[in-house]
Amino acid sequence: MTPSNSFKNVVKVFYKIVIVDILALVALYYVLQDLQWRTDYAASLHTACRTLCGYSPSFSYGLLTRVFTMDGNSQHLVSPPTLDWVQAIVVTLVVANSWFVYAYMRERRRLHSPTQPNLTV
């Protein structure tokens, strides 16, 4: 493979990783908006019926999990643990970009390594 073909391949992979990054960041934006909307909705219930419900929403996080809780009126409501999409998308971004760096460095090392002469007779 000639150096120009190799450079073209690196550029193609770079464009692919940029597209993956953009899609993941857009997904991250919508996940964060969804979390904000859920919290705002639960908080609006808190202010709308302060004397009746009086719940205050919050999230607690674990490794790739999220738990939504609402406290108030001497009650503690807890949702089951769910996948934390923010952490999952960040892991996807890190893995995809690490793969790109690894592939780029491997290709670069292959291009710059001296070729071994064939010594077999």
The full set of domain ranges for the chain reads: 3-106
Does position 26 have pLDDT exceeding 90, yes or no? Answer: yes
Residue bearing the bigger pLDDT, 88 or 43: 88
**Contact in structure between 72 and 46 (CB atoms under 8 Å):** yes
Q: Measured between alpha carbons, how far is 111 from 72 in angstroms, rounded to an integer?
A: 64
**Contact in structure between 39 and 59 (CB atoms under 8 Å):** yes
Residue pLDDT, tens place only, 43-60: 776 555 555 556 677 777
Q: Measured between alpha carbons, how far is 42 from 16 in angstroms, rounded to an integer?
A: 39
> What pLDDT does 69 receive?
80
- Which range of 12-26, 45-59, 75-89 scores highest in mean pLDDT? It is 12-26
Residue bearing the bigger pLDDT, 101 or 119: 101
Output the DSSP codes for 36-87.
HHHHHHHHHHHHHTTTTT--EEEEEEETTEEEEEEEETTEEEEPPPEE-HHH
Q: Measured between alpha carbons, how far is 34 from 26 in angstroms, rounded to an integer?
A: 12
> What pLDDT does 65 receive?
80
**Contact in structure between 104 and 7 (CB atoms under 8 Å):** no
> Mean pLDDT across the chain, nearest whole number?
77
> What pLDDT does 22 receive?
93
Residue pLDDT, tens place only, 7-18: 777 788 788 888
